[in-house]
């Protein structure tokens, strides 16, 4: 590995990683996401041995006093196996039909395995729309909290049979991060068919080495991720990095590790050096800011200059008119907008105090000039820091 990349990968000290891993021993609420490639054989049919082993590990954590939420993929894959399909369906109706068949089969097996160990499960089907509406977001939060309080294990999946957008690549990786924020999880564990994030694809490069710790998901880190991992899965390492970026922005640590080997969840929670750990932000974001991040879809974009980027990302400041260089889209006051840097990368998201047309008139100007330009001034800021979440 080139020396320059080694600096990027090893910029965190062993002490920082050790402290974070040791803190995982105190985790009391965990979200575990398991992928299709872990749950199924190469034929696409469910791998019952792995499912039973996963359930046994999760039950053991509940018996130890922890609360567990399971986010599971596998409905489409299980449906394909039951239907005898050799290739992934290409049309949306075919994918949704496979999900409809597979969802019942998947939940039946989870219910059987958990009940064998004396635990109840509850199926929770979510879509992005459920998280975009503030009232439905809070209702989902309260429902999951109540289930956990009652000692029930929520089994969360996307409502693939009806949600057009939710059946696309990486949905359950992103969903698991959203659920982790929804329930105030202490850790998100992503189980996959590799041991974590490697310096190269370990299937093709025997000299690839595991990255034990990532403190920042840089473009160099993103370049390590490939496409979908198998015939039956819809995600890949790239979607897991997206999930890690989201969860760590909420202040939640993330560990990517193998779901093909037993005992990994317990090892992570013992603080052992297992998989790749992603260090979270120092402070947890408020629930409302988590909703702002990836609940409602952004209705427009505001591009800012370098000074505004530093003020927002490093100084925790609000976005003022002077830092805006361009406005994209047509949105009203109160809309959720994406704040992008000079290169077009999203750095933050928040609620706009002004409509797009008004921002275009006052962009690049001083706050004291707003009244003169618009004839009124409702706010000094385009987006106040209390209504903004920083994503980098």
198 and 337: one domain?
no
Residue 93 has pLDDT above 70, yes or no: yes
342 and 198: one domain?
no
242 and 341: one domain?
no
Q: What is the pLDDT of residues 276-317, one digit of tens each?
A: 999 987 666 666 677 777 666 789 999 999 999 999 998 889
Positions at the binding site for ATP: 33, 192-193, 234-240
Whole-model pTM?
0.78
Q: Quick one: DSSP state of residue 236?
A: B
306 and 266: one domain?
no
Is 221 within the bounds of a domain?
A: yes
Last-in-domain residue among 234, 254, 285: 285
Mean pLDDT across 87-104: 83
Which of 48-62, 149-163, 284-298, 328-342 comes out lowest in average pLDDT?
Answer: 284-298
What range defines the domain where residue 356 resides? 298-390
Last-in-domain residue among 255, 285, 315: 285
Distance CA 388, CA 347 (A): 10
Quote the number of domains for the chain: 2
Distance CA 192, CA 237 (A): 9
pLDDT score, position 162: 61
18 and 118: one domain?
yes
82 and 168: one domain?
yes
- CATH number, domain containing residue 213: 3.40.1160.10
| pLDDT confidence tier of residue 15, bands split at 50, 70 and 90 | very low
| pLDDT confidence tier of residue 386, bands split at 50, 70 and 90 | confident
313 and 184: one domain?
no
306 and 219: one domain?
no
Is 382 within the bounds of a domain?
A: yes
- Other CB atoms within a 10 A radius of the CB of residue 279 amount to 19
Mean pLDDT across 10-26: 70
Distance (Å) of CA 390 to CA 12, 199, 246, 386: 21, 27, 10, 11
Positions at the binding site for substrate: 73, 160, 172
- CATH number, domain containing residue 343: 2.30.130.10
- Helices (H) and strands (E) counted in the chain, each on its own, are 16, 13
pLDDT score, position 73: 85
53 and 166: one domain?
yes
The answer to whether 352 and 359 have CB atoms below 8 angstroms apart is yes
Q: What is the pLDDT of residues 187-231, one digit of tens each?
A: 999 999 888 999 887 777 788 889 999 988 888 888 887 644 444
361 and 278: one domain?
no
184 and 85: one domain?
yes
Backbone phi, psi, residue 307, to 5° = -65, -40
Sign of CA pseudo-dihedral 249, 252, 257, 261: negative
243 and 340: one domain?
no
Positions at the binding site: 33, 73, 160, 172, 192-193, 234-240
């Amino acid at each position: 590995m080139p020396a320059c990349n080694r600096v990027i990968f090893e910029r965190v000290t062993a002490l920082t990683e050790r402290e974070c891993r040791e803190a995982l021993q105190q985790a009391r609420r965990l979200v575990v996401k398991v992928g299709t490639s872990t749950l199924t054989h190469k034929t696409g049919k469910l791998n019952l041995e792995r499912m039973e082993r996963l359930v046994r590990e999760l039950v053991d954590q509940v018996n130890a006093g922890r609360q567990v939420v399971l986010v599971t993929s596998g409905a489409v894959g299980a449906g394909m196996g039951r239907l005898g399909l050799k290739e992934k369906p290409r049309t949306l109706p075919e994918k949704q039909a496979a999900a409809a068949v597979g969802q019942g089969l998947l939940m039946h097996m989870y219910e059987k395995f958990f009940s064998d160990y004396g635990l109840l499960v509850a199926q929770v089907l979510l879509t992005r729309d459920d998280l975009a509406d503030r009232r439905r977001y809070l209702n989902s939060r309260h429902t999951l909290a109540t289930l956990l309080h009652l000692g029930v294990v929520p089994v969360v999946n996307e409502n693939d049979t009806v949600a057009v957008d939710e059946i696309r690549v990486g949905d359950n990786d992103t969903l698991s991060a959203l659920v982790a924020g929804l329930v105030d999880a202490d850790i998100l564990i992503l189980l996959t068919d590799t041991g974590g994030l490697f310096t190269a694809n370990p299937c093709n490069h025997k000299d690839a080495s595991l990255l034990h710790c990532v403190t920042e998901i840089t473009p160099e880190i993103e370049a390590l991720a490939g496409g979908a991992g198998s015939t039956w899965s819809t995600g890949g390492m790239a979607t897991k990095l997206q999930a890690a970026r989201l969860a760590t922005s909420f202040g939640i640590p993330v560990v990517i590790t193998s779901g093909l080997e037993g005992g990994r969840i317990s090892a992570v929670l013992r603080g052992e050096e297992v998989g790749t750990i992603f260090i979270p932000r120092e402070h947890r974001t408020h629930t409302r800011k988590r909703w702002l991040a990836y609940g409602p879809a952004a209705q427009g974009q505001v591009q800012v200059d370098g000074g505004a980027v530093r003020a927002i990302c490093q100084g925790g400041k609000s976005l003022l008119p002077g830092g805006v260089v361009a406005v994209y889209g047509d949105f009203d006051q109160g809309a959720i907008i994406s704040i992008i840097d000079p290169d077009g990368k999203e750095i933050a998201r928040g609620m706009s105090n002004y409509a797009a047309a008004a921002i275009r008139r006052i962009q690049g100007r001083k706050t004291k000039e707003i009244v003169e330009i618009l004839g009124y001034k409702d706010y000094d800021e385009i987006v106040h820091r209390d209504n903004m979440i920083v994503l980098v």
